[in-house]
């Protein structure tokens, strides 16, 4: 974690890094992705048969190669809101026999030319584990169990044999399964009350864990700050002795929360992801409260938080039914940097985080017919996924703070919003990595950096001419610049920038 002391803007900031103070392990799954049948994410994004840039499977080779740079550990699929009317059997078997269906989440037609086997093969080529989301709208428990059997079954059973018939002999061993998506939302097919959802999720979890006790089940939360989160955790986190299994295992392994942030004004935009930090803290407390109230033994594993949708997204600016293609700015890149700082600082509670989405739809990576574009938000994600691994370590920041309006408005009353947003990690390679996001639009900060073991310090900087700089104008206005610093005295963090400092620990 990073602690903070507020100074006046006239005082010199200080960042103190404590490499020997390991606080919690960073789960690599915080750098996970998300693909949904929405806009051009699947069709024209990861799957584009007939394009010269695609392989024999129809997979865009340039997209695969770019995403491999991020070392993505897990990819969530097939949604998202899409899951609420998705029947997985439509998307397996011979493609000329797959039915086209009306798609109600984003008001299109789903051809089902890309389905379970295509996605799982794509994940293997990417080197990522799949994470499948179950249909809690029009789906049934029988259908959900059949999907698990199709993916993971090893016996001489119907759906395991159907997988074999479709060309896959060995099981996929899909580990992660979500118990629905945003079922609390009025935009959902079969929107539920928290009482109805909790009852259904618990019953489904019992059956699914009986079928395959090795799977990891993710409960559908809201944003971590809602009564929905409290009620579903209280009802569904039960002692293992309450289950049907003679060798009981916990039914719920993770609790999901979602949050998108955006503002047309730079400072509310850049500080908005700090709401995710408070949401994680609240959710963590609700998990503890449920365990205490339900008398769960401390010997039983504590669920972690699955922040499986996050990003900068203004649904008015980039409407979902029109493809949700955002044109990101430097301001948005700094917001993504703050999101990622939050995830590193709160690594004790996070088991996974999935940026929504991986290609084209509110994404750092865009495709054209002839190639790809790496948006401004690509570069913070690239730096974090490359370097911010290992252990979260202690850091303290003393600096001035932004004191204006925030988005959401409630953030102003619950979190400090310092000009310098910081996280620190110690990699397994023995290097300290510190990310500093200077959100100030006009002011550089000469800062005392303590804890550096001596030079040289490698410096990676993401910035641009101004906060409106974008990479969607046919040229790269925002990228990564590499330099060195001797590690002595103070360092100047430029206005509207993200800086990663990297040095060998003593």
* Active-site residue list: 182, 309
Q: Name the maximum alpha-carbon separation found in the chain.
A: 73
Separation between Cα atoms, residue 393 and residue 426, nearest integer Å: 6
Which DSSP category does 30 fall into? G
CA 225 to the chain's CA centroid: 18
Q: What backbone torsions phi and psi does residue 349 show, to the nearest 5 degrees?
A: -100, -15
Q: DSSP readout, 183-203?
A: TTSTTSTT---HHHHHHHHHH
The Cα-based distances of 415 to 225, 228, 275 in angstroms read: 14, 22, 8
Question: With 0-12 CB in 10 A as exposed, 13-18 as middle and 19+ as buried, what is 44?
Answer: middle
CA 95 to the chain's CA centroid: 31
Nearest CA among 242, 235, 198 for reference residue 220: 198
Nearest CA among 273, 286, 268 for reference residue 225: 286
Q: What backbone torsions phi and psi does residue 285 show, to the nearest 5 degrees?
A: -65, -35
Separation between Cα atoms, residue 34 and residue 308, nearest integer Å: 8
Which DSSP category does 294 fall into? T
């Amino acid at each position: 974690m990073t602690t903070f002391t507020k100074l006046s803007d006239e005082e010199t900031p200080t960042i103190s890094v404590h490499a020997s103070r390991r606080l919690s392990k960073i789960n690599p799954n915080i750098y996970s992705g998300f693909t949904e049948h929405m806009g051009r994410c699947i069709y024209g994004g990861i799957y584009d048969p007939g394009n010269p840039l695609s392989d024999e499977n129809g997979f865009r080779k340039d997209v695969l190669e770019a995403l491999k740079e991020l070392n993505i550990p897990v990819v969530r699929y097939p949604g998202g809101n899409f899951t609420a009317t998705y029947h997985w059997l439509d998307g397996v078997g011979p493609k000329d026999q797959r039915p086209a269906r009306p798609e109600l989440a984003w008001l299109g037609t789903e051809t089902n030319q890309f389905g379970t086997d295509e996605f799982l093969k794509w994940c293997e080529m990417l080197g990522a584990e799949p994470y499948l989301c179950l249909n809690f709208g029009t789906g049934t428990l029988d259908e959900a169990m059949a999907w698990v059997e199709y993916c993971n079954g090893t016996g001489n059973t119907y759906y395991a044999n159907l997988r074999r018939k479709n060309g896959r002999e060995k099981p996929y061993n899909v580990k992660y399964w979500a118990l629905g998506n945003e079922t609390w939302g009025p935009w959902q097919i079969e929107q539920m009350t928290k009482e109805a959802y909790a009852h259904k999720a618990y019953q489904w979890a019992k059956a699914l864990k009986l079928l395959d006790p090795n799977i990891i089940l993710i409960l559908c939360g809201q944003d971590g700050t809602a009564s929905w989160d409290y009620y579903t955790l209280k009802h569904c986190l039960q002692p293992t002795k309450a289950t049907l299994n003679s060798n009981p295992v916990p039914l719920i392994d993770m609790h999901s929360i979602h949050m998108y942030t955006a503002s047309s004004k730079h400072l509310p935009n850049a500080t908005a992801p700090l709401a995710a930090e408070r949401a994680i803290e609240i959710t963590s407390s609700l998990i503890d409260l449920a365990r205490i109230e339900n008398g769960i033994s401390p010997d039983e594993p504590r669920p972690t938080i699955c922040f499986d949708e996050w990003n900068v997204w203004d649904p008015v600016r980039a409407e979902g039914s029109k493809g949700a293609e955002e044109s990101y700015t430097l301001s948005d890149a700094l917001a993504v940097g703050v999101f990622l700082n939050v995830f590193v600082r709160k690594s004790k509670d996070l088991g996974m985080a999935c940026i929504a989405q991986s290609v084209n739809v509110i994404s750092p990576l865009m495709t054209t017919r002839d190639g790809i574009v790496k948006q401004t938000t690509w570069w913070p994600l690239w730096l974090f996924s490359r370097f911010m691994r290992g252990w979260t370590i202690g850091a303290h920041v003393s600096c001035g703070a932004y004191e204006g309006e925030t988005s959401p408005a409630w953030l102003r009353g619950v979190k400090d919003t310092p000009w310098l947003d910081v996280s620190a990690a110690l990699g397994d390679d023995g290097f300290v990595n510190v990310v500093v996001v200077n959100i100030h639009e006009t002011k550089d900060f000469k800062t005392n950096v303590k804890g550096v073991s001596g030079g040289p310090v490698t410096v990676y900087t993401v910035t641009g001419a101004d906060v409106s700089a974008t990479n969607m104008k046919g040229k790269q206005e925002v990228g990564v610049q590499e330099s060195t610093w001797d590690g002595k005295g103070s360092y100047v963090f430029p206005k509207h920038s993200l800086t990663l400092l990297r040095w060998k620990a003593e």
